[in-house]
Structure 1
Amino acid sequence: MLSSLYLASALWTVALAANDWSKPCFSGVCRYDLPASSGKASGTLEIWGAEGAIADVTSAAGWEIIDCSPKALKQDIRLVCKKGRANDCARLFNAGAVGKVVRLPENCGRNAFGMIAEEYVPADQSIPAAFAGSLMRRDGSLPDVHALKITTDFKPKGPSRKTGGVNFAIRAANVPGASGPLDAASTLEGRSASRVFKRGFFDWVIDAIKKIAELNNFNVEKSKALPSLDVSKDLVLIDESVSCPPLAANLKVEVTAKAQAAASIGVAVTGTIVPPKVDDFAVIASLSAELDGSLDIDASVTGAADSGNVRLVDVALPGLSFPGIFEVGPSFQINAQANANLDIELGMEVDVNYKITNAQFVFPPKTNLSSGGGFHVAENTLKLSASPGVRATGSVEAHIVPVLSIGLSALGGAADAQVFLNLDASATLDLDFQASANGGVTISEVSSAAQQLDTAELAQVERLDDSIDARAVTGDASFSGCVDVGAGLNVNAGASADFFGIFNKETSVSVYSKEFDIFKKCYGGSTQKRSPSSRVFSSRYLDLPRRAPRSERPELFERKVLNLLCPAKNIPDPQTLV
């Protein structure tokens, strides 16, 4: 199997020389491969339509570009027909130049293709000396200089061209091997805008995504082509206090997030440049990551607080760019959130450790293309420290959420959207216990019992209480009461906006979802149990807007605490603030 994948990759890469600028694009079918300057990304853009709908102003088509910016997307270029190439140059003006999609030469604009918005004879008829010698006619005269206004606004102004629209298809990935013939024109050309036509787009996109998935380079665990991210960040999520003499309360929650990650991304797209529309689209992504997070909580509080969603890390990843036609800009983020509802004087440290192997998803959901991956719960530890005589009750829920975010921009900004893969790792604590002396206790997994889960085994895997132990008791500590520690991992994909009706904010893919009972035990003969509904795990903290703006949260915290510390002040119900 492995040898066949290597062979497939080699065939796609060498079957046709990339960007053969020696051949003109006169047949109504043009192809552009991502250049080596794109780094390790690879991919192909193919356009097709009637011969009169597509133009070529490269040297192979008989033109010499004498004035052009290499970095602009929209610009006016000056060009002149080469000696003896009048017949080829005349193709540009057949049926009029305006409205045609034009192939541009290397180093003329960032885009391989643009649209001609205007054609005119410029006042500046000067020709640089470097070109004049080769262009001069026998009678000593020079040819006329022409000018074209190039745009990536593909909505034609005025009546549509009689030659019809221009189609496009893309297959690309941020690893080598995705370039090569697409055969999109021969597969889809000539079909009417009917259900059969839509089915053809759908089948082509699925086939293209499957080919990307089969690339050996696309496997995150095996690929040597992917840059690896290594990030570490410390942040205070909550640091709030309130005083009502002689009483005072404080709550401080700090988070440390460390992550190593690598991501492979591939896209397949079909549609029309003129008029600008995407008919079908799919993105496939694979993410491997090791996430080590810890939350330190220092509390002497009666009340509740919520940090809101806080971004710890935001790192751009190498993207895929066919400027003006289709661009993909991925990034990797880590978000965190903590909320607490406590009557407590206690110090706590909670670890959240996971390993994710090839968490792959296809978005939007496509027939016969599944999402999944390997998800491993590493050793998680809870440390508690308390003063003598302290009774601690309440709950804490903390989330560390790595996000693979993929920004999409199509056809000169005709539509923009963001597709994301959320990996919401949570730790929860419910407790009701009494510390009878100074000291602390560490509650952790037995290392040999670290759980390794695969999506195919979810129904069979359960956490066993005897896989956990309590150890490292310090000082004269003794505890009575109940402690319940849980963890969760919820992996899902979604989108931020509508994208040509192919997907919208309501479209989602559930890749993996599981809650684990890390530790549940009562000490000192207590048999108190936690209500099953007292802990809620959800990815909603990332996606939904908060009910109270961040500027109001300190006030919200203060009112909730003061309500309990100073009831005589008759402070309004804090629930009215959210």
Structure 2
Amino acid sequence: MVFHSFILISAVVSLASAANDWSKPCFSGVCEYDLPATSDSGASGTLKIWGDENSIGDVTVAGGWTILECSPDALNQDIRLVCSGSTEDCDRLHTSGPEGKVVRLPENCGQNAFAVITKAWVPEDQSIPADVAATLFESIDTSRRMKGSVSFAIRAANIPGAAGEIDIPTDPQERRGMNSRVYQRGLFDFIGKAIQALQNLNNIDSKNSVKLPAVNVDKQFNLVDESISCPPVNARLKIDVDAKAHALATIGVAVTGTMLPPKIDTFALLTNLNAELDGTINVQAGVTGTLDSGKVQIFQVGIPGLDFPGILTLGPSFQVNAQAKAALDLDVGLSVGINYKNDNAELVFPPNSKQASKGAFNVGDTPLKLSASPGVNATGSLEAHLIPSLTVGLSALGGVVDAKVFLDLDASATLKLGLEAEAVGVVIVDSKPAAAAVDAEVAVRRESTRIMRRHKKHPKTEEVVAPTSTVDAIPVMATPDVREVSTDGSAKFGGCVELGAGLDVNAGANADFFGLFNQGTSVNLFSKKFELFKVRFLNN
């Protein structure tokens, strides 16, 4: 009987799966483990490890061992085990020494499927339960340590369907000499095929019933509320955000590396985000000056991730941030809408030329509402942003390296004012670019935007509609015609208003990850600015 101290390397909480055959020992130097989906919305994936047959052991019943003491909940622990099989099977654990060897664990022993033996010894307590037949080791030569690396590969997603056979070269001969180039090519081929399989998985899920809970946001938030009173002058600036969002995110990952020594060789993260945003920035201002609120988080929630404890953990979250920038000299109230929809915004990170990131982006209604008192001038500019983000936290190989990868969808509205109010009133300009759809991969013909006038029944309000154009993915400004618009009744404005919309979709990281990417790694999926309308108000 031998006491072992284990540092557990990789794990899954649920060990019940038909793909994991616990009746067959892991003696060949290659072991596979499936992370089964526990429900229609569960994660799925496969972990494969390989190395010299003396670098990987098996302490399950199939491997000739019976575990006497093992917590089902611990990651790092001492366990007591006894040889209950043939001497030949048990001796495999001591070939080249047990310490430093990766071993497969039985069900209900730890949270994990594999562990690394850090120490092995014969304990003073040699008692054995009566129902356990045993052949005890009388001694262990701890000077005989395992040599050679233990490699692994993972393909997984936070939706069902990612588990399956991992086709990757595991023959030790392929990793030596001239064959090492063939071996490395095999690793990269695995990454490329895994990305393609995960992309296909997303395509299937988008057409079928949703298998992950969607994120829904409906929140009002104060971004800025500042006032200064110095009689006879009172100045105030208040900016409120009304954000409504609906999002569905999936993540997938393909990784290869070595457990011993701990290193990631190849890595690819695939995220897919479908989102709709319906937001409004409301401003009440009587102030002269400049302002930048910086990014302010107004919402955050975790979404289902992936966990192979000790090897790789992915923890995604969805946030909505807001930001306002202004250079103002005005005393008005205004409201600017920010609306867009994106379909299958897909990010492959770090950037891979063979597996391009992509997505289809649509700019929606961008209404503008102005109100002012007579004799008030309103000049300046306002830039309002609502920024939904998908952030994926990465922890690899027991926390050896931690990093975050983010996908930001920065939707903005830019307003330029040069107005003078001559009567109390309100004017509403309603831009409806319902067809402003852009596919980030496919360039299509751009049609000019025209301004049309449409009268509403209310005598004090006139609506200006900017029929949207379908534009290409080249970041140029779509320039509309300019028409004059006047208001009726007591709402009288003179001057010009320009309203634009922008969408920038970017991805990046916050730390170095085994030299595969770092803070300087970035991906621009899409960048486009739309001039929605330019309107001149006549005060007569």
Normalising by structure 2, report the TM-score.
0.85
Specify the alignment match of 2:521 in structure 1.
Answer: 507
* Shift in alpha-carbon separation, 1:365–1:467, aligned structure 2, 3 A: farther
CA shift, 1:406, in A, is: 1.0
Q: Deviations over 1:22-75 (max 9, x none)?
A: 111000000011034485211000000011100111121121112112222111
2:480 alignment partner in structure 1: none
Aligned partner of 2:446 in structure 1 is: 461
Quick check: 2:158–2:250 contact (8 Å CA) kept in 1?
yes
Query: Matched residues, percent identical?
Result: 54
* 2:6 is the alignment partner of 1:22: no
Q: 2:500 and 2:412 mapped to 1: Cα distance?
A: 8
* Deviation at residue 218 of structure 1 after TM alignment: 5.4
Shift of 1:456: 4.3
Output one character per residue of 1:234-280: Cα deviation in whole Å (capped at 9) or x when no partner.
11111111122221211000001111111121110011111111111
The answer to whether the Cα contact below 8 Å between 1:216 and 1:223 also exists between their aligned partners in 2 is no
1:41 counterpart residue number: 43
Q: CA RMSD in A?
A: 2.6
Q: What is residue 33 of structure 2 aligned with on the other side?
A: 32
Q: Could you say what secondary structure the match of 2:147 adopts?
A: coil
Write the distance in 2 (CA, Å) between the matches of 1:27 and 1:314.
46
Q: How far apart, in 1, do the equivalents of 2:397 and 2:220 lie?
A: 40
After TM superposition, give the deviation of residue 468 of structure 1 in Å: 7.4
CA contact 1:422–1:491 (8 Å) conserved in 2: yes
Distance in 2 between residues matched to 1:461 and 1:467, nearest whole Å = 19
Q: Could you tell me which residue of structure 2 aligns to residue 53 of structure 1?
A: 55
- Greater per-residue helix proportion: 1
Judged with a 3 Å threshold, the aligned counterparts in structure 2 of structure 1 residues 250 and 192 are, in CA distance, closer, same or farther, namely: farther
Which position in structure 1 is the counterpart of 2:117? 116
1:74 pairs, out of 50, 73, 76, with 76
Q: Distance in 2 between matches of 1:321 and 1:74?
A: 16
Q: CA deviation at 1:227?
A: 1.8
Deviation by residue 1:301-346 (Cα, 9 ceiling, x = unmatched): 0112221111111111111111111111111111111121111000
Tell me the amino acid that sits aligned with residue 64 of structure 2. Answer: G
Q: By how many angstroms is 1:446 displaced?
A: 4.1
Aligned residue number for residue 284 of structure 2:
298
Deviation of 1:474 (Å)? 7.5
**Maintained 8 Å contact 1:175/1:217:** no
Which residue number corresponds to residue 551 of structure 1? none
Point out the structure with the larger strand share. 2
- Alpha-carbon distance in 2 for matches of 1:212, 1:147: 49
Contiguous gaps of at least 5 residues in structure 2: 1-16, 455-460, 464-486
The alignment status of 1:489 with 2:503, answered yes or no, reads: yes
Q: Distance in 2 between matches of 1:111 and 1:474?
A: 72
* Residue 519 of structure 2 is aligned to residue 522 of structure 1: no
Task: Tell me the CA shift for residue 360 of structure 1.
Answer: 0.9
Match of 2:387 among 382, 397, 401: 401
What is the count of residue pairs matched by the alignment? Answer: 491
Retained in 2: the 8 A contact 1:188–1:197?
Answer: no
Matched, 1:64 2:49: no
Q: Is the 8 A contact 2:367 2:432 kept in 1?
A: no
Q: Does 1:391 align with 2:377?
A: yes
Counterpart for residue 239 of structure 2? 253
C-alpha offsets along residues 383-402 of structure 1, whole Å, 9 cap, x if unaligned? Answer: 11111111001111111111
**In 2 relative to 1, CA 474–255 (structure 1 residues): closer, same or farther, beyond 3 Å?**
farther
Q: Which residue of 2 aligns with 1:498?
A: 512
**Once the 2 structures are TM-superposed, how far is the Cα of residue 419 of structure 1 from its aligned partner?**
1.0
- Higher mean C-alpha deviation, range 334-343 or range 452-461: 452-461
Conservation of the 8 A alpha-carbon contact between 1:495 and 1:503: yes
Residue 462 of structure 2 corresponds to 471
Structure 1 residue aligned with 2:9: none
Report the CA distance shift for 1:491/1:160 in structure 2 as closer, same or farther (over 3 A). Answer: farther
- Paired residue secondary structure (2:206): coil
- Pick the aligned partner of 2:153 from 162, 166, 169: 169
Report the Cα distance in structure 1 between the residues aligned to 2:377 and 2:346, rounded to whole angstroms.
45
**Per-residue deviation, residues 115-146 of structure 1 (Å, max 9, x unmatched):** 11001122334445xxx32x24xxxxx65499
Using the alignment, how far apart are the partners of 2:534 and 2:260 within structure 1? Answer: 62
Structure 2 match to 1:536: none
1:311 aligns with 2:311: no
> SS of the counterpart of 1:91?
helix
Q: Pick closer, same or farther for the CA change 1:364–1:468 going to 2, 3 Å.
A: farther
The residue matched to 1:294 in structure 2 has which SS?
strand
Give the whole-Å Cα distance in 2 for the aligned partners of 1:160 and 1:378. Answer: 68
Counterpart code for 2:498: D
CA deviation string 1:436-476 (max 9, x = no partner): 101011111247x5422222455633561416768265751
Structure 1 SS opposite 2:115: strand
Structure 1 unaligned regions, length at least 5: 1-15, 137-141, 149-157, 527-578
User: Which range is displaced more, 491-500 or 187-196?
Assistant: 187-196
